[in-house]
Structure 1
Amino acid sequence: MDEKEKKIMGAISTLNTHQFFHLIHSLSSEFWRQQHHLCSLLQSPTRFPLTLHHLQTLSLHQKTLLIARYLLSMLTHITIFLETNKPNTSTTALRVKDLDAALLLMLLCQVHQQEPQALQRSTAQWRSVLKDYQVGTSLSMLGGLGGSSSAVLTPFIDITTRCQTFLEAVGCGDEMEREVAASVAAVVALPSVELSGGVECAICKEEMREGREVCELPCDHLFHWMCLLPWLKKKNTCPCCRFQLPTDDVLGEIQRLWGIIVTKSI
């Protein structure tokens, strides 16, 4: 088990029984949804070549963003149970076309890694090759998924860590560390509260007077609205404690969710 897998398992181990049950149910449902989606793609004589052609037209940067969006959707399944502060987040569900491309790309990478000779045939034969491989993989996992939590967690952790490793390999690690703006949805959802006592705004350093409505972040820190809004257009972090709000930037949101996992695993 590598370091990434240990982090995920460490974070999951902090869940209570109720949370763990719902996580397993969520992952199991998502696994079968994706298996059904992938099988229907491989069975289709029209969708498969269209999706393969779409993949072949994508640049490395576009493929990287595709994997990033897929990873983000996977990370959301676990972090929703780990976040103690839960600001509203935008949906991470992939469009059907993107999900087709992401699942096919991940399958091609997996087959290339485990059975490289299988893809040395013409692309016209790939659908049959991939279909046979996928059927074999699904059958080998079918028994365990009925009653074993590890049989659900293992493929989830494997695909998550492989996506994370891929993004690091193509140089996205440093890009995830850059400053990003808070998502519009998260900012709009921030509440106004009326002060019951004087508090200093950490941005302008002026006192926020009693009875005035100010903005409250999920970490409970308070700020003038007029001070905080320009800040959140540039950064998704609290000026006091660095608590991170959701962001519409895909790589930035992966970094935020991965940070939650790392923090919980300690």
Structure 2
Amino acid sequence: MILCMMANQPSGEAIIVAVLSALPPPQLSDLANCISALFRRRQLRLSYLLSSPTLFSLTLRHLHSLSLCHKSLLIARYLLYNLSLLRNSMQNAAATPSMYSFARMKLRDLDAVLLLLLLCELHQHDSQRLIETPPSQWRILLRNHVSCKILNLSEFGGFSTFEVLNEYVELVAKCSNFVNVMMGCGGEMGLGKAETEVAAAAAAVVALPSVEVSAVGECVICKEEIMEGREVCELPCGHYFHWTCILRWLGKTNTCPCCRYRLPTDDVRREIDRIFEDLARMGDGCSSCA
């Protein structure tokens, strides 16, 4: 049933749908419950934002003060958090340390993201009405636009798994499209260029384990032997290196010297691409096992 959503969709959406289609029903149901809880929290916050003239005014003022690059960064962080839900569900794992740094948005920034997405939705639905309405009346206009939806979504548990996941795919697509349009300002605010190298995130490096090797090997960075019983650094891909060597290496690039496995970075755009690549591999793996 989910496969019917793949028609005429960008590659990112197709990846998401392929992964969802490959999940077994129990895992798909658990993911839908997690997304439902996220949507409920989002709707409660949005409802509060639209019901408070003071909060709405402050949020709109904050939104107007942001450059296009800052707006894109906020949307990218929100997208990254939502994508991490799916990847972690596929891996049956909790979020990585770097994910928490991206997910910890200031409340005013979260409000700005929700308001920006809502304004984009209204502009797509009725652009002329939004243009003709003065900003002082936008709160009433937006509240009327979403009032029925908020009431329906306040008890999202009544919706089917398909409807919840369809809403999730639409949210990811909306955020992805916004970020892709803003890629032209990628030189600022962490929206990096894919062709340049970037250091691994400090949180990801700190989380790397120290292990004692049981056999003699070689550190491919310095080309010296790793003696049996020595404490070395183990990357998630399973390769071992001298601590001094790998720390210097990861300070310049986030890839493993042996297999090019990529560690998390503090570059939001690169992290989005990395998650999409992970999801594409997971989807292919699930399809080949089917």
Of the structure 1 ranges 55-64 and 200-209, higher mean CA displacement relative to structure 2 is found in 200-209
Higher helix share: 2
Residues 138-185 of structure 1, C-alpha deviations (whole Å, 9 max, x = no match): 356578751411111112111111211222222248724532221212
Distance 2:249 2:48 in 1: 46
Offset at residue 86 of structure 1 (A)? 7.2
Matched AA of 2:118: L
SS at match of 2:47: helix
Distance 1:150 1:142 in 2: 17
Distance 2:141 2:210 in 1: 57
Correspondence 1:107 to 2:118: yes
Aligned to 2:225: 207
Of the structure 1 ranges 3-12 and 62-71, higher mean CA displacement relative to structure 2 is found in 3-12
The answer to whether the 8 Å contact 2:44/2:154 transfers is no
Aligned to 2:90: 82
Correspondence 1:261 to 2:286: no
Correspondence 1:72 to 2:84: no
Q: How many residues align?
A: 266
TM-score normalised over the length of structure 2 = 0.85
Correspondence 1:190 to 2:201: no
Matched AA of 1:36: L
> Identity, % of aligned pairs?
45
Offset at residue 195 of structure 1 (A)? 1.1
Correspondence 1:22 to 2:34: no
The answer to whether the 8 Å contact 2:84/2:95 transfers is no
TM-score normalised over the length of structure 1 = 0.92
Offset at residue 54 of structure 1 (A)? 0.8
Correspondence 1:242 to 2:242: no
1:150 corresponds to which of 138, 162, 167: 162
SS at match of 1:193: strand
2:49 corresponds to which of 27, 41, 51: 41
The answer to whether the 8 Å contact 1:198/1:209 transfers is yes
Structure-2 change in CA distance of 1:56 and 1:104 (3 Å): same
Q: 1:54-69 alignment to 2 at 5 Å?
A: 54-69=62-77
Aligned to 2:178: 166
RMSD (Å), alpha carbons: 2.2
Structure-2 change in CA distance of 1:216 and 1:84 (3 Å): farther
Offset at residue 6 of structure 1 (A)? 1.7
SS at match of 2:85: helix
Distance 1:27 1:190 in 2: 30
Offset at residue 225 of structure 1 (A)? 0.8
Correspondence 1:219 to 2:231: no
Gaps of 5+ in 2: 1-5, 285-290
Matched AA of 1:212: R
